[in-house]
A and B are shown apart, each in its own frame.
Chain A
């Protein structure tokens, strides 16, 4: 097992953990953290897989930098929305009744 594969597998494991957290955790802050773990996993796959014979490839490093900027922007927006929800409903979670179901108005 070479180094690239170790990084890629670790990254994939982080991605899966992040996705599970994003879907299963009810607390919004945990969801946002899970999204960041998912992102870190993707970045690890990106940088890890792309080393050619031990020399790092600069292109994915640049892409990961861009990805980090995007992830920070998304995290900021998510935190702002979560804060607003907390102010309005007093809870750091999405209301239960509509989640996972279609609204069947009769």
Chain B
């Protein structure tokens, strides 16, 4: 039987390298072909998992403990599908976005390819050291993409991002070193029973270091300070990739560590702490989003807030009945997918508005409703998911989380979610209201190529349809 697992990593590596060698002129077609292939591979892998359960692939035929094992279960399949689904329309978008900027494209394709290769490898990793390596590769590629725009602002943001990422992965690696010192293994499958059997205090220290490092990389409040300048200052296709996917990779690892590896030593108090940080992120991020005067900074702070919802998963799924935990878990994963699709669409739509109006300020988009109805429609659709209105994927996710909060009697999270929803409605309508104002006479709208509008609409539609077809995603999760 053909195994898609190694090809999901090799394909982006191959096209990234070829795109680098060929230069910007030829580079565009390769990523499109490569991503279509990867989407098919991810779908095929998902099918195999639904049919036959967890899949393991031994690299080079060696296998653990001597070689490296790759592993794919339902959660990995969901993340892989999300990654390729978000990246494919963005590739079409990027081709139009960077048209005429050969110098940016020269580095955009290879870095994007390496970013996707690192991300796919991360979702398929089965040992904590391999995860470290993929995490670093992902971080380095992402920093390169942030620096792509050049200029003092983006380079400063890239430098801050790099330092935060290095600190995060350093803490993670020290945790790995301590784990290896205690158990003599880095394989997740081997460590899980060992930790369940006996966990000395140093394992708790390792867990704290690893989780802290990953929280820094996920930009959970109060570690979010590096995120808005990095995501807000990068070119729009890069912001979309970073906000939709890259932070989700480290969140995926937190999920893996919390619910698989360190499950025996997690405590309700620690879960409540994570939830409290998430709640603070929702309120503070939404409040700051509301105060922004620049479009991309508003969307970047909205990401800070939406990350908060992901962390509500921990108090709602720790120390509660199995049924409530399952509902919270599904809600959390659905939020990952819904936010990924919607935020990619939102950043790309905002990027298109900025190209058309030539201005980044919110005050500059008056008249967008009349001149760019499709892009504004896309922004609003993505906004429906961010606000959590039915029938979007964001609604389904928040509904499941609310249900879990109610069933476990943790009403304070309900308050946070409702206030957060209202605040997000406020900052999205702030943009919409401005867009519906009459066109200023001095405004000079550029005509947009179709490729800057239609692929983005598809992403926003996907985030909406997810609310109706989210069951498919959840059944894939159940296939573990």
Central interface residue in A28, A52, A66, by most chain B CB within 10 Å: A66
Stretch in B178-186, B422-430, B454-462 with 4+ CB within 8 Å of A: B178-186
Distance in angstroms between the alpha carbons of A78 and B147 in the assembled complex: 11
Q: Mark A1-19, 1 if CB is under 8 A from B, else 0.
A: 0001000100100010011
Determine if A70 and B136 form an interchain contact, defined as CB atoms under 8 angstroms apart: yes
Determine if A45 and B158 form an interchain contact, defined as CB atoms under 8 angstroms apart: no
Determine if A39 and B170 form an interchain contact, defined as CB atoms under 8 angstroms apart: yes
Residues from chain A with Cβ under 8 Å of B143 in the complex? 77, 81
Determine if A104 and B140 form an interchain contact, defined as CB atoms under 8 angstroms apart: no
Q: Cβ of A94 < 8 Å from any Cβ of B? A: yes
Q: Cβ of B288 < 8 Å from any Cβ of A? A: yes
Residues from chain B with Cβ under 8 Å of A4 in the complex? 181
Determine if A100 and B177 form an interchain contact, defined as CB atoms under 8 angstroms apart: no
Determine if B228 and A85 form an interchain contact, defined as CB atoms under 8 angstroms apart: no
Q: Mark A36-52, 1 if CB is under 8 A from B, else 0.
A: 00110110011001101
A31 partner, pick from B156, B163, B288, beta carbons under 8 A: B163
Q: Taking A88-B151, A102-B284 as given, write out 15 further A-B residue pairs in contact, using a Cβ cutoff of 8 Å, ordered by the A residue number.
A: A19-B167, A28-B159, A35-B163, A45-B174, A50-B181, A59-B186, A77-B144, A78-B163, A81-B143, A81-B158, A94-B160, A102-B288, A103-B288, A105-B292, A106-B291
Q: Cβ of B173 < 8 Å from any Cβ of A? A: yes
Determine if A46 and B180 form an interchain contact, defined as CB atoms under 8 angstroms apart: yes
- Indicate whether A35 sits within 8 Å of B170 (C-beta atoms), given known contacts A74-B162, A81-B162: yes
User: Taking beta carbons and an 8 Å cutoff, which residues of B are in contact with A?
Assistant: 65, 129, 132-133, 136-137, 140, 143-144, 147, 151-152, 155-156, 158-160, 162-163, 166-167, 170, 173-174, 176-178, 180-181, 184, 186, 225, 228-229, 284, 288, 291-294, 297
- Indicate whether A94 sits within 8 Å of B225 (C-beta atoms), given known contacts A15-B174, A77-B143, A88-B152: no
Determine if B136 and A74 form an interchain contact, defined as CB atoms under 8 angstroms apart: yes
Q: Mark A79-106, 1 if CB is under 8 A from B, else 0.
A: 0011011001100001100111111111
Central interface residue in A15, A31, A67, by most chain B CB within 10 Å: A67
Distance in angstroms between the alpha carbons of A18 and B170 in the assembled complex: 10
Residues from chain B with Cβ under 8 Å of A88 in the complex? 151-152, 155
Residues from chain B with Cβ under 8 Å of A95 in the complex? 156
Question: How many whole Å from B63's CB to the nearest CB in chain A?
Answer: 14
Determine if B228 and A102 form an interchain contact, defined as CB atoms under 8 angstroms apart: yes
Q: Which 6 A-B pairs have the closest CB atoms?
A: A49-B181, A46-B177, A105-B293, A45-B177, A88-B152, A70-B136
Q: Provide the main secondary structure of the chain B interface.
A: helix
Q: Which residue of A lies closest to B182 (CB)?
A: A49
- Indicate whether A49 sits within 8 Å of B180 (C-beta atoms), given known contacts A66-B133, A67-B173, A100-B225: yes
Question: How many whole Å from A44's CB to the nearest CB in chain B?
Answer: 9
- Indicate whether A42 sits within 8 Å of B177 (C-beta atoms), given known contacts A73-B140, A98-B229: yes
Q: Which residue of B lies closest to A12 (CB)?
A: B174
Q: Which residue of A lies closest to B157 (CB)?
A: A98
Determine if A45 and B159 form an interchain contact, defined as CB atoms under 8 angstroms apart: no
Determine if A19 and B184 form an interchain contact, defined as CB atoms under 8 angstroms apart: no
Distance in angstroms between the alpha carbons of A7 and B160 in the assembled complex: 31
Determine if B288 and A70 form an interchain contact, defined as CB atoms under 8 angstroms apart: no
Residues from chain B with Cβ under 8 Å of A84 in the complex? 147, 155
B133 partner, pick from A11, A70, A77, A104, beta carbons under 8 A: A70
Determine if B147 and A103 form an interchain contact, defined as CB atoms under 8 angstroms apart: no
Distance in angstroms between the alpha carbons of A52 and B136 in the assembled complex: 29
Distance in angstroms between the alpha carbons of A99 and B228 in the assembled complex: 12
Question: How many whole Å from A8's CB to the nearest CB in chain B?
Answer: 7
Determine if A81 and B140 form an interchain contact, defined as CB atoms under 8 angstroms apart: no
B162 partner, pick from A67, A77, A98, beta carbons under 8 A: A77
Residues from chain B with Cβ under 8 Å of A103 in the complex? 228-229, 288, 292, 297
Determine if A104 and B291 form an interchain contact, defined as CB atoms under 8 angstroms apart: yes
Determine if B225 and A22 form an interchain contact, defined as CB atoms under 8 angstroms apart: no
Distance in angstroms between the alpha carbons of A73 and B166 in the assembled complex: 11
- Indicate whether A78 sits within 8 Å of B159 (C-beta atoms), given known contacts A35-B166, A103-B228: yes
List 11 A-B pairs, Cβ < 8 Å: A35-B163, A42-B173, A49-B177, A59-B186, A78-B166, A81-B155, A84-B147, A102-B225, A103-B228, A103-B288, A106-B291
